[in-house]
């Protein structure tokens, strides 16, 4: 297997079937290795450099009300970037779905004495849909266990659609500019295609589960994925210190967008959450007393639940001591396939 040599200096390279790019241990040249992959279908999205990411970090601090006030106490301790591989493709799904939705139907009528009445009842409506569409999918080509920010990067990719370059088309000069480590794939093309097929069917199933009260028939077939390619996306993580803790922000490498972050909670926010605990207990106690007085079990239960949920939320947030920010919800057309 190990018959690869550095294109620039001829030194032997350590290469596995999943290697996309092997950095020469002698001269540092990034050698493009196809391994098991079809080279013409590998794309790379160019990245901003480390300085640009540091700049994006400080701009983010300026934008954030809480962080801005403590910015003098924030200190960047590390900035780490890499390229990670993702499989993308499109799956054609076709078939039929029959489902039932329960709806409230009301009619108003006037009786013999001239009084108006409204009568309502629940009716079951049956639907029969034909499905015939292409579903774009993208998912990590690595088996990482929910690495922080990965889903957020995918979500941002599907919204911003940055242009990639074919890896084959890069010249030596452009190769030299790619200073980031390129992580190997761990999921091969065949496995990725199987996952995409399953996930395409799940996309349809979830769509109907959301709107139907009952699915009576689900007969959807997925074809083999088309236009399958491997895309290398740059991701940066800025680690920073505040007090005795380290927090981090994940940036998309192509445009410097912050996609996910853990952040310190300032004293004011902490006070607000502690306030929530107090208020929660108060509502709980008050509600129990009030409910007891009027002998309404429902009020007691509602107040206890509401009070403890509110209190629990505040307590959880304070214990955590940080908040987690996400760059927004997933685009509806692209899906992340499961690992
Ligand atoms: Zn070399």
Task: Indicate yes or no: pTM above 0.85.
Answer: no
**Distance, CA of 93 to CA of 244 (rounded, Å):** 52
70: which 2 tokens? 């403590």
Distance 31 CA to ligand 1 centre (A): 8
Distance 30 CA to ligand 1 centre (A): 8
234: which 2 tokens? 């740059």
Return the closest-CA partner of residue 337 out of 191, 235, 183: 191
Distance 15 CA to ligand 1 centre (A): 14
Yes or no: say if 117 and 79 are a contact pair by the CB < 8 Å rule. Answer: no
Yes or no: say if 330 and 260 are a contact pair by the CB < 8 Å rule. Answer: no
pLDDT value at residue 339: 34
Q: Is 299 exposed, middle or buried (0-12, 13-18, 19+ CB in 10 A)?
A: middle
Distance 280 CA to ligand 1 centre (A): 64
Distance 254 CA to ligand 1 centre (A): 28
- pLDDT per 10-residue tile (average), the chain, 339 residues: 78 81 79 68 90 96 91 95 93 97 90 88 94 94 80 92 85 76 86 94 95 96 94 95 92 95 72 62 53 47 51 48 53 41
Distance 111 CA to ligand 1 centre (A): 94
**Residue 293: strand, helix, or coil:** helix
Distance 205 CA to ligand 1 centre (A): 50
Distance 49 CA to ligand 1 centre (A): 24
pLDDT value at residue 15: 81
Distance 50 CA to ligand 1 centre (A): 25
**Distance, CA of 72 to CA of 241 (rounded, Å):** 11
Distance 166 CA to ligand 1 centre (A): 22
pLDDT value at residue 51: 94
Distance 81 CA to ligand 1 centre (A): 23
pLDDT value at residue 279: 61
pLDDT value at residue 291: 44
Distance 172 CA to ligand 1 centre (A): 13
Q: Which residue(s) pair with 11 in the sheet? A: none
| Distance (Å) of CA 247 to CA 164, 271, 323, 325, 327 | 30, 20, 10, 12, 16
Distance 140 CA to ligand 1 centre (A): 29
Distance 168 CA to ligand 1 centre (A): 18
Distance 20 CA to ligand 1 centre (A): 16
pLDDT value at residue 236: 96
pLDDT value at residue 334: 42
Distance 32 CA to ligand 1 centre (A): 12
**Distance, CA of 337 to CA of 224 (rounded, Å):** 15
Q: Please provide residue 259's backbone torsions phi and psi, each rounded to the nearest 5 degrees.
A: -105, -25
Distance 5 CA to ligand 1 centre (A): 8
């Amino acid at each position: 297997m190990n018959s690869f040599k550095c294109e620039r200096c001829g030194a032997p390279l350590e290469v596995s079937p999943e290697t996309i790019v092997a950095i020469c241990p002698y001269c540092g040249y990034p050698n493009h290795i196809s391994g098991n992959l079809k080279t013409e279908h590998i794309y790379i999205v160019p990245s901003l450099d480390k300085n640009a990411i540091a700049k994006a970090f400080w701009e983010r601090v300026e934008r954030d009300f809480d962080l801005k006030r403590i910015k003098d106490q924030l200190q960047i301790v590390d900035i780490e970037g890499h390229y990670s591989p993702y499989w993308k493709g499109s799956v054609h799904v076709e078939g039929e779905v029959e489902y039932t939705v329960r709806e409230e139907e009301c009619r108003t009528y006037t009786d013999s004495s001239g009084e108006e009445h409204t009568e309502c009842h629940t009716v079951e409506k049956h639907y029969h849909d034909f499905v015939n569409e292409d579903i774009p999918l993208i998912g990590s080509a690595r088996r990482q266990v929910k690495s922080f920010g990965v889903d957020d990067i995918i979500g941002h990719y599907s919204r911003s659609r940055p242009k990639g370059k074919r890896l084959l088309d890069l010249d030596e000069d452009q190769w030299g500019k790619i200073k980031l480590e390129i992580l190997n794939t761990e999921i091969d093309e065949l496995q990725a295609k199987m996952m995409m097929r399953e996930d395409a069917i799940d996309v349809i199933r979830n769509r109907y589960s959301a709107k139907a009260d009952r699915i009576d028939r689900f007969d959807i077939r997925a074809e083999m994925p088309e236009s399958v390619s491997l895309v290398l996306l740059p991701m940066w993580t800025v680690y920073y210190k505040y007090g005795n803790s380290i927090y981090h922000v994940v940036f998309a490498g192509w445009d410097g967008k912050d996609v996910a972050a853990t952040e310190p909670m300032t004293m004011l926010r902490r006070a607000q959450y502690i306030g929530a605990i107090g208020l929660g207990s108060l509502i709980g106690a008050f509600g129990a007393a009030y409910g007891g007085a009027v002998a309404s079990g429902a009020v007691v239960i509602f107040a206890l639940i509401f009070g403890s949920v509110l209190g629990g939320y505040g307590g959880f947030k304070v214990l955590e001591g940080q908040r987690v920010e996400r760059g927004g919800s997933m685009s509806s057309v692209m899906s992340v396939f499961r690992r």
